[in-house]
């Protein structure tokens, strides 16, 4: 994929992803398996995280833009055998990021945003008391909704500090009869679920 | 992808933006293309954010974390979630603990809730603590005046309050500030020390204090530098800076090492609060940031037209 085709894509931002194009994208990401959309969600999540690490303030939009372009190229140029899906998505994401960077610099926004954000960083984590209470209340509700084993894993894995935390994790893995690595992965997924649950709950309130 | 790509140290440095550009780009690609790498990265990120929340990050890591994770709304939300999550975990741990205390009859294990257990730190409680400390300051000043010719004219520049916040189960009604007086310009062998000995109750054997709060007032030239005693297990230092007459409601605080003038920490734009008709700037910073050194804080007023001006300066020595 060359730079010119990446730039051409930028002129077609309003191309809507049709249902058939979207289904084609899902099938392409799934490969030989049917993940019922899980592969798409995972890829989208990784792209959001990528754009977020690049200090983009709209990582969700950029991830969607990336996947829309991939879907368009699948539909128009039938590239299914050209690249591994994840690698192709990354290449498109890089183009999208470069374009975003160029347009941000033209607006003079990016550097000053980063500067302002870095100096206000620690205070930026503070919240109004009301927002803190809402989040805590949502979190309690979301934790209570977890299955008992998931709740035990999330509270046991992330509790404690330093040596105590390491010991907690070791004994938790032993009690559950799984490896430390498997425990880490499960705890991570449970935490992501909690985070999403809290985000939704706070939004509703 | 090789084994080294996802070692804890590499992932941490990647998340903090401390890797060379070429290496960063290589890991950027892995974060999208390799499922295992992406998973390990997510795990490392959770641990990093928790380390920040628990005050375990120091020096360059702390500064870089603040830059990286204060930079976007999504990552700020992740930190806030982690703060709430840690508070919820500790709350649940404390609620379960009292059964053991009742069985053993041991009432000394008073639980200390993290500073981020939001419900206990209302402005009213802060106001109560600040009012008590100010009252104590004035009382000690009058007491010292009675003692002899070396009594100083102005109250000591700093008092401290090691606070043991009540557990959510509500075992005890609110904090009991321990308020030893700070150093003054008079001889340490006279009234101040006697007063401190009389008013300083025995150290709480109940457990580690997580938050230590101090009230600072602007440093006068003739005064000794205040000493802030920070227990080793403190996670957060809360500072209340008493401001003189000011004409702006917003300030920024800049903490520097006195010996090198190196900036160690600075706050964002903080709104001045009024407690008992006194203007106060309330700050919180990780205890791990402070070493046994002399520090200076500059309170910089921020005006609506964007100009800034230093309004007050404070000095203190950290004792750990």
* Partner residue opposite A161 with nearest CB, options B56, B67, B74: B56
A66 and A161, same structural domain?
no
Which chain B residues are closer than 8 Å to A123 by Cβ? Answer: 267-270
What CATH number does the domain containing A186 carry? 1.10.10
A193 and A169, same structural domain?
yes
Q: How confident is the model at residue A138 (pLDDT cuts 50, 70, 90)?
A: very high
pLDDT value, residue B50: 93
CB pairs under 8 A between A and B: 136
Compute the half-sphere exposure of residue A143: CA atoms within 13 Å on the CB side of its CA: 22
pLDDT value, residue B4: 54
pLDDT value, residue A75: 79
pLDDT value, residue A16: 66
A192 and A131, same structural domain?
yes
Q: Is A33 on the interface with B (CB under 8 A)?
A: no
A55 and A87, same structural domain?
yes
* pLDDT (tens digit per residue) in A76-86: 776 666 668 89
Q: Do B88 and A161 count as a contact with CB atoms less than 8 A apart? A: no
Give the residue from chain B lying closest to A118, CA to CA: B67
Q: Is A53 on the interface with B (CB under 8 A)?
A: yes
Residue A87 CB coordination number (10 Å): 14
A139 and A110, same structural domain?
no
pLDDT value, residue B6: 62
Q: Is A148 on the interface with B (CB under 8 A)?
A: no
A121 vs B84: which has the higher pLDDT: B84
Domains and CATH numbers, chain B: 3-86 (no CATH), 108-319 (2.60.40.10)
Domain boundary among A77, A99, A121: A121
pLDDT value, residue B186: 44
pLDDT value, residue A104: 80
Domain boundary among A88, A121, A154: A121
Domain boundary among A59, A91, A121: A121
A162 and A110, same structural domain?
no
Q: Do A188 and B73 count as a contact with CB atoms less than 8 A apart? A: no
* pLDDT (tens digit per residue) in B51-80: 999 998 988 999 999 988 888 888 999 999
B203 vs A19: which has the higher pLDDT: A19
Which chain B residues are closer than 8 Å to A88 by Cβ? Answer: none
- Tell me how far apart the alpha carbons of residues B43 and A38 are, in angstroms, rounded to a whole number: 19
pLDDT value, residue A200: 92
Copy the structure tokens of residue B134: 């100010």
A197 and A101, same structural domain?
no
A121 and A147 in contact (C-beta within 8 Å)?
no
* Partner residue opposite B80 with nearest CB, options A43, A135, A185: A135
Q: Give me the mean pLDDT over the A125-146 stretch.
A: 84
A90 and A133, same structural domain?
no
pLDDT value, residue A18: 82
- Tell me how far apart the alpha carbons of residues A25 and A73 are, in angstroms, rounded to a whole number: 10
The domain in which residue A145 lies consists of 127-204
* Partner residue opposite B87 with nearest CB, options A49, A136, A194: A136
Which chain B residues are closer than 8 Å to A70 by Cβ? Answer: none
pLDDT value, residue B305: 74
Mean pLDDT, consecutive 10-residue stretches, chain B (320 aa), reads 69 94 95 94 95 90 90 89 91 63 50 46 66 73 63 46 40 40 43 43 49 80 75 85 81 87 84 78 86 88 80 86
Query: What DSSP designation does B206 have?
Result: T
Q: Check pLDDT > 50 for residue A42.
A: yes
A158 vs B250: which has the higher pLDDT: A158
Q: Do B89 and A118 count as a contact with CB atoms less than 8 A apart? A: no
Q: Is A59 on the interface with B (CB under 8 A)?
A: yes
A67 and A143, same structural domain?
no
pTM given for the model:
0.56
A150 and A132, same structural domain?
yes
Domain total of chain A: 2
Closest Cα in chain B, distance from residue A10 (Å): 21
pLDDT value, residue B84: 92
A113 and A41, same structural domain?
yes
Q: Strand, coil or helix: what is B149?
A: coil
Q: Give me the mean pLDDT over the A62-66 stretch.
A: 95
A151 and A95, same structural domain?
no
């Amino acid at each position: 994929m060359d730079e010119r085709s990446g730039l051409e894509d930028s002129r077609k931002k309003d191309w809507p992803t049709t249902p058939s194009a979207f289904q084609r994208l899902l099938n392409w990401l799934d490969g030989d398996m049917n993940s019922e959309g899980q592969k798409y969600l995972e890829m989208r999540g990784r792209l959001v995280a990528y754009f977020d690490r690049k200090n983009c303030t709209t990582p969700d939009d950029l991830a969607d833009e990336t996947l829309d372009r991939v879907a368009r190229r699948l539909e128009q140029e039938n590239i299914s055998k050209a690249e591994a899906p994840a690698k192709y998505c990354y290449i498109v994401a890089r183009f999208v990021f470069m374009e975003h960077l160029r347009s941000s610099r033209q607006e003079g926004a990016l550097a000053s945003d980063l500067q302002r954000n870095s100096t206000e960083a620690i205070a930026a984590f503070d919240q109004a008391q009301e927002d803190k209470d809402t989040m805590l209340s949502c979190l309690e509700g979301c934790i209570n909704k977890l299955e008992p084993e998931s709740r035990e894993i999330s509270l046991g894995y992330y509790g404690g500090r330093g040596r105590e935390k390491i010991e907690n994790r070791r004994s938790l893995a032993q009690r559950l009869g799984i490896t430390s690595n498997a425990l880490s992965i499960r705890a991570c997924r449970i935490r992501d679920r909690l985070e999403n649950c809290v985000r939704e709950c706070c939004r509703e309130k | 992808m090789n084994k080294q790509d996802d070692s804890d140290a590499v992932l941490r440095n990647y998340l903090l933006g401390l890797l060379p550009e070429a290496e960063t780009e290589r890991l950027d690609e892995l974060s999208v293309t390799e499922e295992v790498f992406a998973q390990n990265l997510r795990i490392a990120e959770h641990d990093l954010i928790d380390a920040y929340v628990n005050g375990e990050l120091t020096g360059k890591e702390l500064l870089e974390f603040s830059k990286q994770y204060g930079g976007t709304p999504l990552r700020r939300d992740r930190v806030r979630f982690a703060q709430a999550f840690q508070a919820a975990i500790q709350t649940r741990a404390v609620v379960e603990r009292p059964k053991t205390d009742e069985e053993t009859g041991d009432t000394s294990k008073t639980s200390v809730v993290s500073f981020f257990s939001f419900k206990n730190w209302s402005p009213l409680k802060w106001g109560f603590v600040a009012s008590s400390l100010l009252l104590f300051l004035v009382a000690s000043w009058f007491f010292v005046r009675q003692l002899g010719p070396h009594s100083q004219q102005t109250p000591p520049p700093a008092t401290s309050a090691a606070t043991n916040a009540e557990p959510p189960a509500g075992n005890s009604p609110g904090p009991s500030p321990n308020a030893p007086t700070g150093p003054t310009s008079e001889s340490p062998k006279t009234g101040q020390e006697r007063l401190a000995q009389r008013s300083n109750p025995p150290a709480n054997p109940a457990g580690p204090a997580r938050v230590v709060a101090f009230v600072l007032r602007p440093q006068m030239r003739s005064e000794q530098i205040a000493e802030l005693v920070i227990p080793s297990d403190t996670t957060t230092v809360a500072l209340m800076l008493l401001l003189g007459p000011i004409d702006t409601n917003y300030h920024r605080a800049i903490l520097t090492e006195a010996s090198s003038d190196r900036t160690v920490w600075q706050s964002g734009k903080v709104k001045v609060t009024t407690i008992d008709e006194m203007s106060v700037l309330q700050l919180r910073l990780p205890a791990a940031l402070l070493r046994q050194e002399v520090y200076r804080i500059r309170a910089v007023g921020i005006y609506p037209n964007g100009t800034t001006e230093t309004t007050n300066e404070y000095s203190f020595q950290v004792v750990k």
